[in-house]
């Protein structure tokens, strides 16, 4: 969906202030959705209700004036009583009609606002899932969610104020100027126009100053939230290091900075309100004093005083809200511009136009002279080449920092290599669709993160539309079915946030079952047993060997004992292929693999001796 969004031409600099017109230009398609005639008719209907309501409101002072003038006739005159009563009733009916039209307008327009908010939220959500892993590793989740929340909420508010406050106010101001000119001449018109201009100027000037304060508040608010989320997600780490006081101090510093910025913002609001009140009340006092003076000369009636007072009150009621409306729209533009900058983040890894789907006959994997690094000044893989034949079990080992996990990220195309190619069944993965590529790959990672849902949901997540029979079969294949049947709620057991209610081995088995549901021809085990105890590790290894049958598997491992029976072992050293061969062959060569094997064997012996 996000590809269809209007393009952006303004700067994406993090520190850039938003360009109001550019942001509004991107905002307008949500106000007038080109692909939805029903919503466009609702917008037109709402505008007609606005016009009807405004026409009714503009007619009310005439009825009020006539009623008051009728009451100034000699006491007891029957025609005067009848006329006054009729205009009073008309005035009351007009007020009711104004309320009726306003609420009908809201009823008609509500669907437009909700659909616009939904559409924008879906666009942002889809865009975030298309952004690269680099983006998600660099941004804090709390800040991103806050930007999305503020941006999506602002569209409904902006739609409402633009259509039902700014536009009607302009209409009413134009009508009042014409009415004052026809009834009282240019003097009162000039005073009203001057007051409105001064009001708008003061509001805009002070609000521009307040916008900088508001942007700072947003930044500090997001920082406070991100610190809270980060700390709570790492709850166990905080406890391990007794860092509760440090975390509280970091959060308190962020909230204190936000509170100071909020105080400045609210104080500036008070200054704005005072300035607006001075302008409004000066005009009101001057206009009414001029009307009283005209009455004293016999040129104007008592009804004219009421007439002027009512029109100015009606005019400045929305103008009195102009400060709030302007601030809201400015804030909405800031929030939406920040969200649009998020949306405009370049997609680092994208499908080439017209890319075909991956077609696998023999699930082989080839790295052909691959050069890659996460930063240009730090190369990780230096011309790495190797091949994983179809149906083979291949292991990748090496010291920390050798580039083992980088291979997994490149294979799933979270990043593209700087040079070289990665082939699956002879097809360059950079020239096929990412969806078809990832559909052919399965992974059991070192840290198997689960959704905060049921065991059944997490297993079925392997493939959209998986049935319960497939979930149960996968659980049996991952040797976790017996454990699940012992649980009171079985597959409906909640696993908690990130699966924390399950042990490490149980989470790994759920991850394996999830991969079995997906049933890919190529499976990657990325340090899948490194965090487990020896007994659980052996159980998981047995399950992994069963899963590997009739599949192409790549095992990234630190403990060499877990991959000794692999068909081929690739030994990486500083991003280069140092050795390859079977376990026996590599030991016979007495190279890096043999050195690593001897060191791990010695460590195991020392642990055994210490245990005795």
> Do residue 318 and residue 391 come from a single domain?
no
> Do residue 181 and residue 297 come from a single domain?
yes
| CATH code of the domain covering residue 236 | 1.20.1560.10
Q: Does residue 494 form part of some domain? A: no
Is 39 a residue whose pLDDT tops 60?
yes
> Do residue 382 and residue 433 come from a single domain?
yes
> Do residue 420 and residue 273 come from a single domain?
no
Query: Which of these three, 343, 378, 408, is where a domain ends?
Result: 343
Q: Is-contact 404 572, C-beta < 8 A? A: yes
> Do residue 330 and residue 369 come from a single domain?
no
Q: Name the pLDDT band for 581 (thresholds 50, 70, 90).
A: very high
Kindly report which listed range (45-49, 78-82, 507-511) carries the lowest average pLDDT score: 78-82
Structural domain boundaries, residue 558: 365-440+520-611
Q: Does residue 171 form part of some domain? A: yes
Instruction: State the average pLDDT for the chain.
Output: 80
Distance (Å) of CA 260 to CA 228, 267, 595: 19, 11, 60
> Do residue 157 and residue 32 come from a single domain?
yes
When divided into structural domains, the chain yields a total of 2
Q: What are phi and psi of 454, to 5 degrees?
A: -85, 165
As a whole number, mean pLDDT of residues 180-184 equals 83
Which stretches within 461-549 are classed as H helix?
468-477, 481-486, 504-518, 534-548
Return the SS3 of 423.
strand
Q: What percent of the chain has pLDDT over 70?
A: 87
Q: Does residue 360 form part of some domain? A: no
Q: Is-contact 153 145, C-beta < 8 A? A: no
The pTM for the full model equals 0.62
> Do residue 325 and residue 375 come from a single domain?
no
Q: Does residue 515 form part of some domain? A: no
Residue 386: which H helix or E strand, with range?
A: strand 381-388
> Do residue 369 and residue 319 come from a single domain?
no
What is the separation, in whole angstroms, between the first and last Cα of the chain? Answer: 63
Tell me what pLDDT residue 7 has. 35
Question: Cα(544)–Cα(527) distance, rounded to whole angstroms?
Answer: 12
Q: What percent of the chain has pLDDT over 90?
A: 8
As a whole number, mean pLDDT of residues 146-154 equals 75
> Do residue 17 and residue 150 come from a single domain?
yes
Which stretches within 13-140 are classed as H helix?
20-31, 37-71, 78-130, 133-138
Q: Does residue 483 form part of some domain? A: no
Question: Cα(232)–Cα(252) distance, rounded to whole angstroms?
Answer: 15
27 by Cβ neighbours in 10 Å (0-12 / 13-18 / 19+) ranks as buried
Angle at 102 between CA 99 and CA 106, to 5 degrees: 135
In this predicted model, what pLDDT tens digit does every residue of 273-308 receive, in sequence order?
888 888 888 888 888 888 888 888 777 777 787 778
Q: Does residue 422 form part of some domain? A: yes
Q: Does residue 349 form part of some domain? A: no
| CATH code of the domain covering residue 544 | 3.40.50.300
Structure tokens at 37: 């005639």
> Do residue 174 and residue 286 come from a single domain?
yes
> Do residue 78 and residue 148 come from a single domain?
yes
In this predicted model, what pLDDT tens digit does every residue of 480-515 receive, in sequence order?
888 889 888 889 888 877 677 788 778 888 888 888
For CA atoms 39, 44, 47, 52, give the dihedral sign.
negative
Tell me what pLDDT residue 8 has. 37
Q: What are phi and psi of 399, to 5 degrees?
A: -65, 165
Tell me what pLDDT residue 6 has. 33
**What single DSSP character describes residue 165?**
I
Query: Which of these three, 343, 374, 403, is where a domain ends?
Result: 343
> Do residue 421 and residue 309 come from a single domain?
no
């Amino acid at each position: 969906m996000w590809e269809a969004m209007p393009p952006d031409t303004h700067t994406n600099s993090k520190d850039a202030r938003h360009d109001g017109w550019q942001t509004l230009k991107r905002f307008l398609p949500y106000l007038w959705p080109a692909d939805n005639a029903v919503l466009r008719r609702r917008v037109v209907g709402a505008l007609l209700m606005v016009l009807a309501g405004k026409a009714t409101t503009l007619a009310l002072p005439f009825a009020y004036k006539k009623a008051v003038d009728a009451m100034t006739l000699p006491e007891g005159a029957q025609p005067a009583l009848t006329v006054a009563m009729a205009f009073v009733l008309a005035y009351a009916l007009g007020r009711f009609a104004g309320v009726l039209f306003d609420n009908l307008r809201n009823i008609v327009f509500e669907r437009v606002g909700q659909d616009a908010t939904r559409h924008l939220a879906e666009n942002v959500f889809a865009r975030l899932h298309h952004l690269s892993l680099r983006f998600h590793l660099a941004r804090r989740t709390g800040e991103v969610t806050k930007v999305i929340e503020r941006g999506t909420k602002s569209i409904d508010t902006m739609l409402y104020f633009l259509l039902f406050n700014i536009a009607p106010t302009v209409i009413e101001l134009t009508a009042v100027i014409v009415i004052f000119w026809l009834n009282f001449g240019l003097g009162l018109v000039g005073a009203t126009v001057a007051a409105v201009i001064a009001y708008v100027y003061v509001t805009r000037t002070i609000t521009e100053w307040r916008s900088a304060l508001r942007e700072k508040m947003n930044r500090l608010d997001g920082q406070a939230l991100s610190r809270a989320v980060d700390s709570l997600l790492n709850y166990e780490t905080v406890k391990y290091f007794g860092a509760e006081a440090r975390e509280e101090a970091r959060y308190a510093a962020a909230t204190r900075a936000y509170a100071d910025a909020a105080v400045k913002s609210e104080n500036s609001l008070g200054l704005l309100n005072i300035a607006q009140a001075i302008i409004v009340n000066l005009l009101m006092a001057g206009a009414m004093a001029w009307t009283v003076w005209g009455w004293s000369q016999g040129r104007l009636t008592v009804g004219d005083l009421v007439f002027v007072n009512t029109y100015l009150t009606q005019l400045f009621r929305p103008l009195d809200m102009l400060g709030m409306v302007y601030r809201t729209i400015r804030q909405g533009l800031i929030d939406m511009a920040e969200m649009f900058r998020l949306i405009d983040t370049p997609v680092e890894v994208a499908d080439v136009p017209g890319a075909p789907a991956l077609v696998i006959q023999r699930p082989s994997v080839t790295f052909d002279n691959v050069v890659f690094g996460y930063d240009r000044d730090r190369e990780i893989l230096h011309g790495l080449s190797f091949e994983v034949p179809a149906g083979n079990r291949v292991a990748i080992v090496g010291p920390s920092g050798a580039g083992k996990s980088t291979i997994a990220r490149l294979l799933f195309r979270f990043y593209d290599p700087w040079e070289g190619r990665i082939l699956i069944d002879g097809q360059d993965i950079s020239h096929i669709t990412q969806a078809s590529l990832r559909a052919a790959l399965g992974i059991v990672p070192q840290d198997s993160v689960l959704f905060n849902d049921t065991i059944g949901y997490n297993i079925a997540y392997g493939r959209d539309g998986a049935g319960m029979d497939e979930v149960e079969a996968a659980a049996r294949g991952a040797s976790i079915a017996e454990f699940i049947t012992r649980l009171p709620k079985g597959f409906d057991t909640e696993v908690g946030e990130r699966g924390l209610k399950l042990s490490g081995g149980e989470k790994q088995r759920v991850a394996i079952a999830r991969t079995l549901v997906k049933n890919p021809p190529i499976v990657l085990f990325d340090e899948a047993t490194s965090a487990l105890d020896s007994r659980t590790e052996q159980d998981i290894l047995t399950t992994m060997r069963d899963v590997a049958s009739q599949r192409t598997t790549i095992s990234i491992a630190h403990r060499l004992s877990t991959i000794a029976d692999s068909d081929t072992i690739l030994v990486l050293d500083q991003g280069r292929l140092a050795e390859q061969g079977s376990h026996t062959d590599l030991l016979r060569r007495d190279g890096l693999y043999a050195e690593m094997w001897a060191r791990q064997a010695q460590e195991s012996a020392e642990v055994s001796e210490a245990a005795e």
